């Protein structure tokens, strides 16, 4: 049996992927891994590579989902992105977005935070 939070996360990632496609983004990869790091969604919008972290919660009682993306998570995403760019020999403008989702029986709220953070 899959844990509820894992199931919720998978539903959230699927919603995020469809949300981006409806906005005209081209999805290149989902759940791309490099060692211990993972990028939820790698997409392209015009001539920009978009690295998307998806955070899904059933409630905002303990804070908004995007609040869970701290500096350590940002470091992991940046490191994985550098590996992805190198592995695919890409030289392209890249930005980091967060898709924050509240998903439960009563509501489905999606918030897209463009340029959520910048590499140092």
Structure tokens at 26: 């081209």
- Whole-number Å distance between alpha carbons of 46 and 84: 19
User: How many other β-carbons are positioned within 10 Å of the β-carbon of residue 9?
Assistant: 19
CA distance 44 to 7: 26
Confidence bin at 1 (pLDDT 50/70/90) = low
Q: What is the CATH number of domain 4-54+71-117?
A: 3.40.1350.10
Q: What is the pLDDT of residues 80-117, one digit of tens each?
A: 999 999 999 999 999 999 999 998 888 889 999 999 99
In the chain, where the domains are located: 4-54+71-117
φ, ψ (nearest 5 deg) of residue 18: -65, -40
pTM: 0.92
């Amino acid at each position: 049996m899959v844990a509820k939070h894992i199931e919720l996360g998978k539903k959230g990632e699927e919603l995020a992927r469809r949300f981006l496609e409806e906005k005209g983004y081209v999805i290149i990869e989902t759940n791309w891994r490099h060692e211990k790091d993972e990028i939820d969604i790698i997409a392209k919008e015009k001539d920009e590579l978009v690295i998307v972290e998806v955070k899904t919660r059933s409630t905002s009682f303990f804070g908004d989902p995007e609040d869970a993306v701290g500096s350590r998570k940002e470091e992991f995403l940046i490191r994985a992105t550098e590996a992805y760019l190198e592995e695919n020999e890409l030289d392209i403008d890249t930005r980091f977005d967060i898709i924050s989702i509240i998903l439960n029986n009563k509501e489905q709220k999606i918030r897209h935070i463009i340029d959520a953070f910048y590499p140092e």
